[in-house]
C-alpha cells in the first residue's frame, strides 16, 4: 500500500480509530517527525492532546542495525531485536564508540529542546495512549517509548502507523493492547518509499509546533 502523503495516511488511521476512541480520554504521542504529521490527523479527529517523544537511534558501525535508542530523558534502551549474548558482544567490541554516540545523541536532543522538554508523565496519566509513527522499520523507538511509559499509569496502549515491518508488528503484539497498522511489509524499504509526497518539517520546526500546542493547553 502506498499513500499520497503522511497527512493522507493519518486521515485513514483516524477513520479507523474514531468510532472506538472519539469519546475516550486519549493522548496521541508521535514517535518521529513524520509521525507528528500522521498524529495531527488522529488528534484532531479525537479532540485529544498531541505530543512527541524525542529519541535518536544509535547505529552499530557497518551492521545496518540499531544498537538502541536514547530518549530526551537521557535513558538508553537497547534494541530488543538483538539477543542478550549479541548485545554483550556489541557492547564489548564497540564500548567506547557506543558510549560516545549516546553522549552526543543526548546533547543534540538537549540543544533542540532547551529546558523542560516537550512531554511529561502527567500529560499521559490515566489516558489511553496512542503511539503513532509514519512507519516502523524497527522496534527501537517503540522500546524507548515503552521505557518512558513504565512509571505512568495509563488506561490502554494503542500503536498506530500506516506501514510497519512484519517483525516489528510481531513484537508489538506482546507490548500493545491494540494495533492499527494499515500495511505490514515482509521486506520493508525506507519509510519515505511508501509516500508520494515526502515533505516533512525539520526537527526544529516539529518541536516548535509541539511546544505551541502545549502552550495552548496551558
Q: Higher model confidence: residue 84 or residue 184?
A: 184
pLDDT at position 72: 73
Cell of 211: 511546544
Global pTM reads 0.81
Residue 205, domain member (yes or no): yes
pLDDT at position 116: 45
Please give the residue range of the domain that contains residue 72.
59-113
Those residues with Cβ within 8 angstroms of residue 102's Cβ, 6 or more apart along the chain or in another chain = 58, 70, 76
Residue 125 has pLDDT above 50, yes or no: yes
Residue 218 has pLDDT above 70, yes or no: no
122 and 91 part of one domain:
no
79 and 178 part of one domain:
no
Which residue, 75, 92, 113, sits at the end of a domain? Answer: 113
Q: Higher model confidence: residue 74 or residue 169?
A: 169
Residue 162, domain member (yes or no): yes
45 and 25 part of one domain:
yes
Residue 139, domain member (yes or no): yes
Residue 119 and residue 109: Cα distance in Å, rounded?
Answer: 13
Q: Report the domain count for the chain.
A: 2
195 and 181 part of one domain:
yes
DSSP 195: B
Least confident stretch, 106-110, 154-158, 174-178, 180-184: 106-110
CA distances from 46 to 26, 41, 164, 184, 200 (A): 8, 9, 23, 24, 23
pLDDT at position 67: 81
The DSSP result for 85-129, as a single string, is HHHHHHHHHSHHHHHHHHHHHHHHHHHHH-SS-S--GGGTTTSEE
Which residue, 93, 113, 133, sits at the end of a domain? Answer: 113
Mean pLDDT, rounded, for 152-178: 95
pLDDT at position 92: 83
Residue 1, domain member (yes or no): no
25 and 128 part of one domain:
yes
Cell of 182: 494499515
CATH number for the domain including 202?
A: 3.40.50.2020
Model confidence band, residue 65 (pLDDT cutoffs 50, 70, 90): confident
Strands of 41-100 (E only): list them: 49-52, 55-60, 65-71, 76-78
Residue 121, domain member (yes or no): yes
46 and 16 part of one domain:
yes
Those residues with Cβ within 8 angstroms of residue 190's Cβ, 6 or more apart along the chain or in another chain = 137
Give the strands of the sheet with 128-132, arranged side by side: 49-52, 26-30, 128-132, 156-165, 178-185
45 and 143 part of one domain:
yes
- Give pLDDT tens digits for 202-214: 888 887 777 776 5
175 and 137 part of one domain:
yes
Residue 211, domain member (yes or no): yes
Contacts of 163-167 with CB under 8 Å at 24 or more apart are 163/1, 163/9, 163/135, 163/136, 163/188, 163/191, 163/194, 164/133, 164/135, 164/136, 164/188, 165/136, 165/137, 165/138, 167/81, 167/139
Model confidence band, residue 113 (pLDDT cutoffs 50, 70, 90): low
Mean pLDDT, rounded, for 37-60: 88
92 and 196 part of one domain:
no
123 and 162 part of one domain:
yes
74 and 159 part of one domain:
no
Which residue, 113, 138, 159, sits at the end of a domain? Answer: 113
Average pLDDT, the chain: 87
Highest mean pLDDT among 40-44, 71-75, 104-108: 40-44
32 and 73 part of one domain:
no
Amino acid at each position: 500500500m502506498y499513500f499520497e502523503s503522511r497527512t493522507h495516511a493519518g486521515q485513514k488511521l483516524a477513520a479507523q480509530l474514531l468510532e472506538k476512541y472519539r469519546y475516550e480520554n486519549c493522548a496521541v504521542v508521535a514517535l518521529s517527525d513524520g509521525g507528528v504529521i500522521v498524529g495531527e490527523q488522529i488528534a484532531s479527529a479525537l479532540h485529544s492532546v498531541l505530543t512527541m517523544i524525542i529519541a535518536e537511534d544509535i547505529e552499530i558501525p557497518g551492521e545496518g542495525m540499531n544498537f538502541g535508542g536514547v530518549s530526551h530523558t537521557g535513558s538508553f534502551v537497547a534494541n530488543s531485536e538483538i539477543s542478550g549474548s549479541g548485545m554483550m558482544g556489541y557492547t564489548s567490541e564497540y564500548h567506547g564508540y557506543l558510549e560516545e554516540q549516546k553522549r552526543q545523541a543526548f546533547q543534540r536532543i538537549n540543544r533542540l529542546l532547551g529546558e523542560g522538554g516537550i512531554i511529561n508523565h502527567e500529560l499521559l496519566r490515566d489516558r489511553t495512549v496512542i503511539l503513532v509513527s509514519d512507519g516502523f522499520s524497527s522496534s527501537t523507538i517503540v522500546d524507548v517509548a515503552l521505557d518512558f511509559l513504565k512509571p505512568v499509569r495509563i488506561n490502554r496502549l494503542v500503536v498506530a502507523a500506516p506501514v510497519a515491518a512484519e517483525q516489528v508488528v510481531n513484537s508489538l503484539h506482546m507490548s500493545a493492547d491494540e494495533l492499527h497498522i494499515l500495511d505490514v511489509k515482509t521486506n520493508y524499504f525506507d519509510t519515505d518509499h511508501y509516500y508520494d509526497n515526502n515533505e516533512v518539517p525539520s526537527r526544529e520546526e516539529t518541536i516548535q509546533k509541539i511546544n505551541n500546542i502545549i502552550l495552548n493547553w496551558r
